[in-house]
Amino acid sequence: MRLEGKKVIAFVEQDFEDLELWYPVLRLREEGAQVDFVGKTANQIYYGKYGVPAESDYALADVSATDYHAILVPGGWAPDKLRRYPEVIQLVQSMNKDKKPIGQICHAGWVLISADILQNKQVTSTPGIKDDMTNAGATWVDKPVVVDGHLISSRRPPDLPVYMKTFSDILSKQ
């Protein structure tokens, strides 16, 4: 269990992309990581675009980046809501400052854009937000997974296996 002792925040909000939240969470837990669902409020059930529920373990205001080794931002429509919370932006910026792994897939790039951490970074995302990513100063690449330092980005659900292998490899070295 190579990720034993690692703690990861998985943001959750209504309309997350079901696979882009649950697949990474289950893979990390299989490898021994503790993954906490963090949403606007604690103990709230959030539903994915296809109806799969996820209950938040903690409220955004109750967690600190110093207590975690990495962060995951799922795609779907949830990132458009998540980026509006100052606590989300602060957590992402703190993780970025400390060079802790930040995983983002599909539309999750919106959160990193709002956190203003993409200048001169190489990333990928769903092609639908390619212009948003480049307008934020990033170089967008059409590949299943792109790593730029501690930022790990991916495009869409079919890329999940290589995305999570890469994310787990990086997290294991933290």
Active-site residue list = 107
Token pair belonging to 47: 């539903």
CA–CA dist 146, 151 (Å, integer): 8
Q: Is 116 left (phi over 0), alpha (psi -120 to 50) or beta?
A: left
H or E segment and range at residue 72: strand 70-73
- For residue 109, which of 139, 88, 130 has the smallest C-alpha distance? 130
- List the alpha helices (DSSP H) in the chain: 18-30, 78-82, 86-97, 109-114, 130-135, 160-172
